[in-house]
């Protein structure tokens, strides 16, 4: 158990993981940056160095900034809705005495489904004639048949709703686990002090939840900025790019227009944005030191 023996042991234990990481994670990160400086079309064998031209074009591209706007809107609305609904669900679960296990299991169902499955479920629900949404709408307004995924005003809200449905359980579970750890004595003391339900929630519960909510905020923000599967299946970024997030924009540039170099530039921007968000959160919560 010598210090030098420890150091050697450490590298022996680390070596396999680090070598794999070097190949499948680090090398691609370096390579994608290099690719973003090229004009590259693999099937035609085109590979020319163009410096920052791709980035310059991105800066001028209306579609790129549109994707940026869509991503921002999607992220802010989704995460806000999920946090509110998640906390509400967790508080409700906490009030449940029996059958909590069943509730938790049911609640977890949407979260563990593959994104593609959720996409197909909501594609069917949003179907203009046979879908659940429009059958419910028809009960209220007989002749209305909104085209949820085809109307540019409705498509993004429809996608957001599907995403909120899918990810609220994650936040609910996270918050619930934290709430369970709060000793009953805390609430009893509050009741003794004459605090009503609302005051208890705002003054005691919420502050206790702050660390968990910050974690949830980080995870969900990163996930929302990275979201791909759901909108790819539901709308493919359409109609007319109103649901095209940065990830879809990058994917389209990479594989549908065959511009691997330009696509890599947009991929680098998305990646850098996400990493910056993660870094910012680490720094803000002081966890960088704890890492």
Among positions 246-265, residues that touch other proteins (CB under 8 A) are 247, 250-252, 254-260, 262-264
Pairing of strands 38-41, 46-49: antiparallel
- In the set 164, 170, 205, 209, which binds other proteins (CB under 8 A)? 170
Choice between 190 and 258, CB closer to other proteins: 258
* Site track 80-119 with other proteins (rule: CB under 8 A), x = hit: ---------x--xx-xxxxx-xxxxxxxxxx-xxxxxxxx
Tokens representing residue 248 in the block: 């879809």
Minimum distance, C-beta of residue 198 to other proteins, in the bound complex (Å): 17
Q: Restricting to residues 182-221, which ones interact with other proteins according to CB under 8 A?
A: 211-212, 215
Minimum distance, C-beta of residue 85 to other proteins, in the bound complex (Å): 10
Bond preceding residue 255 cis, omega within 30 of 0 = no
- In the set 141, 142, 192, 291, which binds other proteins (CB under 8 A)? 291
- In the set 79, 125, 156, 209, which binds other proteins (CB under 8 A)? 125
How far is Cα 41 from Cα 57, in angstroms, rounded to an integer?
17
Minimum distance, C-beta of residue 192 to other proteins, in the bound complex (Å): 20
Locate all alpha helices (DSSP H) within the chain, ordered by sequence.
3-21, 27-35, 53-60, 62-95, 100-112, 115-125, 132-140, 155-180, 184-192, 197-199, 206-226, 229-234, 246-251, 260-284, 287-290
How far is Cα 256 from Cα 279, in angstroms, rounded to an integer?
31
Q: Restricting to residues 37-76, which ones interact with other proteins according to CB under 8 A?
A: 42-44, 57, 61-63
Q: Restricting to residues 13-42, which ones interact with other proteins according to CB under 8 A?
A: 13-14, 16-18, 20-21, 24-25, 27-29, 31-32, 35, 42
Q: Is 139 in the site for other proteins (CB under 8 A)?
A: no
- In the set 79, 159, 231, 268, which binds other proteins (CB under 8 A)? 268
How far is Cα 263 from Cα 40, in angstroms, rounded to an integer?
9
Tokens representing residue 62 in the block: 């209306």
How far is Cα 131 from Cα 147, in angstroms, rounded to an integer?
10
Cα-based distances in Å from 212 to 31, 217, 285: 36, 8, 12
| Strand partners for 54 | none
Minimum distance, C-beta of residue 145 to other proteins, in the bound complex (Å): 9
Count of positions on this chain that bind other proteins (CB under 8 A): 122
205 touches 129 (CB < 8 A) = no
Q: Is 127 in the site for other proteins (CB under 8 A)?
A: yes
Q: Is 138 in the site for other proteins (CB under 8 A)?
A: no
């Amino acid at each position: 158990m010598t210090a030098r023996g420890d150091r050697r042991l450490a590298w022996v234990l680390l070596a396999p993981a680090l070598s794999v990481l070097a190949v499948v994670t680090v090398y691609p990160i370096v390579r994608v940056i290099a690719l973003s400086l090229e004009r590259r079309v693999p099937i035609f064998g085109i590979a020319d160095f163009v410096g920052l031209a791709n980035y310059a074009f991105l800066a001028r591209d209306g579609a790129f900034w549109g994707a940026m706007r869509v991503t921002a809107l999607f992220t802010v609305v989704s995460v806000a809705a999920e946090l509110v609904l998640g906390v509400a669900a967790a508080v409700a679960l906490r009030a449940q005495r029996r059958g909590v296990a069943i509730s938790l299991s049911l609640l977890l169902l949407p979260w563990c489904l593959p994104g593609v499955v959720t996409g197909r479920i909501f594609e069917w629900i949003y179907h203009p004639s046979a879908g659940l949404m429009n059958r419910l709408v028809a009960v209220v307004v007989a002749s209305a048949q909104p085209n949820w995924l085809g109307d540019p005003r409705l498509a993004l809200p429809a996608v957001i709703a599907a995403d909120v449905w899918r990810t609220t359980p994650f936040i609910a579970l996270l918050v619930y686990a934290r709430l369970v750890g709060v000793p009953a004595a805390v609430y009893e003391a509050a009741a003794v002090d004459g605090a009503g339900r609302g005051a208890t929630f705002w003054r005691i519960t919420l502050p206790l939840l702050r660390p968990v909510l910050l974690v949830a905020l980080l995870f969900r923000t990163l996930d929302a900025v990275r979201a791909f599967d759901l909108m790819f299946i539901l709308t493919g970024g359409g109609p007319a790019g109103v649901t095209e997030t940065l990830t879809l924009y990058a994917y389209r540039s990479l594989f549908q227009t065959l511009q691997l170099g330009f696509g890599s530039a947009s991929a680098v921007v998305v990646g850098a944005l996400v990493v910056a968000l993660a870094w910012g959160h680490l720094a803000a919560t002081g966890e960088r030191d704890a890492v």
